[in-house]
Structure 1
Amino acid sequence: MSTPNPSEITVAQLPEILKDDAAVKVGGVDIDGMLRGKLMAKSKFLSVAEKGFGFCSVVFGWDMHDQTYFKELKVSNAENGYRDIIAIPDLSSFRRIPWENDVPFFLVSFVDPDTNETLNTCPRSLLSRTVDKLKAQGMGAMAGAEFEFYQFRAPTSHDGPEANSSSTAQFLKDKPVHQLPSLTEGMFGYSLTRPVHNQEWYYSVFDTCSKFRCGIEGWHTESGPGVFEAALEFGEIKEMADRAALFKLTVKSIGSKFGITPCFMAKPRAGLPGNSGHMHVSLVDSAGKNLLWRGEEDLNAPWPDVRYLSDIGRHFLAGLIDGLPDVMPIFAPTINSYKRLVENYWAPVTVSWGLEHRAASIRVITPPTASPKATRFEVRVPGADTNSHLVLATILALGWRGVEKKMEIKLPPLGKGQDVGGAADKGERLAKSLKDGTATMMRPGSVAREALGDEFVEHFGGTREHEIKLWDEAVTDWEVKRYIETV
């Protein structure tokens, strides 16, 4: 079954491309980065491929467990009847799902039916609008993504022999989390033997990602029980965001077939390292030339760390530094995210940057340690629990704001051997909780409002306030165990 070049597919070609298919699967990205979609009859899909179809807006009106937000948010609420929005298939996203008998698959973006413009809360659309600003100036952006995540063995379901993520959820209803077994034990990063313990699953993930066009560049164990890390193949920034979302879908789907539950929580286990979701970003011209590379060494650079970084690169970095504190809920979107962002766990906790500095929030990668074409920024604050479309849109929007304003870097680099949060770190401490981060992001005049728009910030901030409210009302095992007898 030949696959045409997706970027060249037209609506007129679809009947031929899908001639042997009976159905098509579609999916869109919600505010939490989850894919929401359905299976459609081929005839139905062909009839809506050009102008789109109605899709219940409630996917932007409820949380990751389908509980409607306590706060009525503009896009979808009881007053507007959780009306339909329009889902437009992106033909360039065409894939076939390898683990579902090669059923055709298309991603969608969401449109406001009243204005016929892209929905401000749609993650794919937010990123596209940001990319369009660069495109108008003859530029583009490239990106890469790295995800660390735990693997747990899914217990056998109470209802049958198949073990998958659903049976893990059932197990945790009446069993403590620490009883959930890890795929492997111990701390063994970059092991060449541990993957062989689960060889069929390990290679199935790698091979399936390649077939599903979310290919893995590097795939290895990380330090931690059952922890693996995947670096996805570098590419154009919108494609990279799509691949990141589809990578998570692939890993979860393949895991279920092997009785394995992948966990992208930022901090699944106390006392162990968390799961990062580092993002790499660079700017290019229309010919693909890296615009962050200076071309030659600047002997008069303000710091040696930027001597190979172009002026546009310095402005971009300044924009990241300036805006980072105001976008923390996007880089750390859950209550659990902030358990990872603590001192002494190789996680950045301040506004900090430095050349090849893996403890800083922003790692600058330039010659002489990298090739000119590989010059880029690695933003190390995001965890694996993030929405990659929102993270990449935010990085690009903050950096581009710095370019447009010709901002200057206001903070010295973190020196080698200097600890993040130590005496030599002059950067602001990032938010320590989702509540603090959300308040900072939503305040009048925040950088987030300027870079991402009031409508998006109001919606996303409202979803985080919902998460905070649920947490404030929760009673944890820790509390009960600590206080049940003693107070």
Structure 2
Amino acid sequence: MTEKEIVDYLHNNEIHKIKFAFTDIDGVLRGKLIHTTKFLEGLKDGIGFCDVVFGWDSADACYDNVELTGWQSGYPDKLAHIDLDTFRVIPWDNNTPFFLADYKKNDLTDLAVCPRTLLKKIASECKSMGFVPSFAQEFEWFNFKETPQSLEEKNFHQLTPLTPGMFGYSILRTSLEDAYYNDLFDLLCAFNIPIEGLHTETGPGVYEAAYFHDEILKAADNAALLKTSVKEIANKHGIIATFMAKISEKLPGCSGHIHQSLWNTDKTKNLFYDANAEHNMSELFNQYLAGQLYCLPHIVPMLAPTVNSYKRLVEGAWAPTTITWGFDNRTTALRVLNHSHKACRLEQRVSGADTNPYLAMAASLASGLYGIKHKLSLNVQATTGNGYSNKSNGSIAGNLMDATQIMKKSDIAKELFGAEFVEHFTATREWEWRQFSKHVSDWELKRYMEII
């Protein structure tokens, strides 16, 4: 819809409020409900929003180690610019109009640490090279018969799963909660998140959803909105949905795999596919894959951004631990699917469900483009069999601090994303590690309290 059509829609339907939001550095959706008058006034010049949303963590604790904002700056407003192309209505909230926004430092300068702004910059670079990036992200998550209050009362332990047992691809289990299951599919589609498939995964109360691929910015918008939308729809049914990467050492983790391909400008040709080439992989695809393999050690925190992320990245848990690739191999970091022109793509399997989709997709695309720009050769052999045992090309960092230090010192990361973003983002990951390191866990209490 054009700006005039949106304005006419609001007036003709006597709509007096709209909701807009954006993701912070952790991928948490932050936003406001505002009067239509304020929305219309802000279309040209933007809407002031306290920049603390990029100066605190997911628990609203203010960073003490970033330059962007803080007590030293007084936490001023920065300008949020609503993207009218993201207009949709929320079907489970009285069809309230909804928009996504980007952040600017001022009228002329983009805010380098805004995740959506970063992705737009890299997507624009991709298009300037003559490619249209087509992406999608699939998500797994656990569902519990709980509320925010009961989580607190139970101290996040002994939660009741939506359904019991390990039952992937179950038709039976979904029938126990068919109102919720059908609402997820129908309401997400009505919210312009076109669901391709929805099913149970192995694990008590685990669902998985995939949506149709699209140009990368729309794909990231859909991914970011899917996570919060699922939680809101779940709340309507007295259910808590969690996108933590790993909730228990005894259960599988929750992935957020990213599927990606490059197309020509009129979107008629998949540039990764070449029927006359070995394995149907074009030279462009080989370079893109080589770029991701080469850059992977430098971008891990953007794919695994929390302390918990690395509990998922362990051997034998359907998540990769080595810097490997293979053909339809689910034990490698990068999985090539090359059977047809339409579906030829690269699946990046490091990302968990806890990622910020804008950052994970930006990291994937930027590293692939690095391979194309530098004409990298694919000199890493495809892994056949167990990718966990193939350490010939290195392993993924084992924890958030190690991964962050590699990225912080990396000239490649600064080339891909800019020094300002890398400095701020890695500082936020160091903060996250500090918060974890001073915490006394249940494991420590059980192991040391009596015996040591």
Q: Specify if TM > 0.5.
A: yes
Q: Which residue of the partner structure matches residue 139 of structure 1?
A: 131
Q: Which residue of the partner structure matches residue 153 of structure 2?
A: 171
- Distance in 2, Cα, partners of 1:206 & 1:92: 23
* Contact map agreement 2:305 2:354 (CA 8 A) in 1: yes
Select which of 273, 283, 294 maps to 1:322.
Answer: 294
Task: Provide the aligned C-alpha RMSD in A.
Answer: 1.3
Q: Which residue of the partner structure matches residue 87 of structure 1?
A: 80
Q: Which residue of the partner structure matches residue 160 of structure 1?
A: none
- Distance in 2, Cα, partners of 1:312 & 1:389: 23
User: Residue type of the partner of 1:384?
Assistant: A
Q: Within 5 Å, which residues of 2 pair with 1:49-60?
A: 49-60=43-54
CA offset digits 1:401-460 (Å, max 9, x no partner): 110110111311101xx21231x4422111000010001110142x22221111111111
User: Residue type of the partner of 2:399?
Assistant: S
* Contact map agreement 1:58 1:76 (CA 8 A) in 2: yes
Asked whether 1:16 is paired with 2:21, we answer no
- Distance in 1, Cα, partners of 2:150 & 2:383: 42
- Distance in 2, Cα, partners of 1:294 & 1:280: 15
Query: Are residues 290 and 426 of structure 1, via their aligned partners in 2, closer, same or farther at CA, if it must alter by over 3 Å?
Result: farther
Secondary structure of 1:54's counterpart equals: strand
Asked whether 1:409 is paired with 2:378, we answer yes
Asked whether 1:443 is paired with 2:436, we answer no
* Contact map agreement 1:290 1:375 (CA 8 A) in 2: no
- Distance in 2, Cα, partners of 1:15 & 1:398: 40
Q: Which residue of the partner structure matches residue 452 of structure 1?
A: 417
- Distance in 1, Cα, partners of 2:10 & 2:298: 46
- Distance in 1, Cα, partners of 2:27 & 2:287: 29
Q: Which residue of the partner structure matches residue 204 of structure 1?
A: 183
- Distance in 2, Cα, partners of 1:222 & 1:441: 33
* Contact map agreement 1:315 1:403 (CA 8 A) in 2: yes
- Distance in 1, Cα, partners of 2:53 & 2:97: 22
Q: Which residue of the partner structure matches residue 421 of structure 1?
A: 388
Asked whether 1:349 is paired with 2:321, we answer yes
CA shift, 1:209, in A, is 0.1
Select which of 59, 69, 73 maps to 2:63.
Answer: 69
Q: Which residue of the partner structure matches residue 338 of structure 2?
A: 366
After TM superposition, the runs of 4+ consecutive aligned structure 1 residues lying more than 4 A away are none
User: Residue type of the partner of 1:388?
Assistant: P
- Distance in 2, Cα, partners of 1:14 & 1:256: 30
Query: Are residues 294 and 45 of structure 1, via their aligned partners in 2, closer, same or farther at CA, if it must alter by over 3 Å?
Result: closer
- Distance in 2, Cα, partners of 1:276 & 1:290: 29
Asked whether 1:110 is paired with 2:103, we answer yes
User: Residue type of the partner of 2:73?
Assistant: N
Q: Which residue of the partner structure matches residue 241 of structure 1?
A: 220
Count matched residues. Answer: 450
Structure 1 gap segments, 5+ residues each: 1-5, 155-163, 302-306
CA shift, 1:289, in A, is 2.9
User: Residue type of the partner of 1:53?
Assistant: I
Asked whether 1:463 is paired with 2:435, we answer no
- Distance in 1, Cα, partners of 2:62 & 2:344: 43
CA offset digits 1:182-227 (Å, max 9, x no partner): 1111000000110010010110111110111112110000000011
Asked whether 1:339 is paired with 2:304, we answer no
Query: Are residues 425 and 472 of structure 1, via their aligned partners in 2, closer, same or farther at CA, if it must alter by over 3 Å?
Result: closer
Asked whether 1:481 is paired with 2:450, we answer no
Select which of 252, 255, 271 maps to 1:292.
Answer: 271
* Contact map agreement 1:294 1:311 (CA 8 A) in 2: no
CA shift, 1:294, in A, is 4.0
Q: Which residue of the partner structure matches residue 378 of structure 1?
A: 347
Q: Which residue of the partner structure matches residue 99 of structure 1?
A: 92
Q: Which residue of the partner structure matches residue 31 of structure 2?
A: 37
CA offset digits 1:68-118 (Å, max 9, x no partner): 0121x22222111111111000000001111211111110000111x6222
* Contact map agreement 1:326 1:448 (CA 8 A) in 2: yes
Identity between Structure 1 and Structure 2 (%): 41
- Distance in 1, Cα, partners of 2:428 & 2:130: 35
- Distance in 2, Cα, partners of 1:428 & 1:345: 19
- Distance in 2, Cα, partners of 1:249 & 1:382: 18
Q: Which residue of the partner structure matches residue 210 of structure 2?
A: 231
- Distance in 2, Cα, partners of 1:426 & 1:243: 36
Secondary structure of 1:377's counterpart equals: strand
Select which of 397, 407, 413 maps to 2:366.
Answer: 397
* Contact map agreement 1:292 1:375 (CA 8 A) in 2: no
CA shift, 1:379, in A, is 0.2
User: Residue type of the partner of 2:430?
Assistant: E
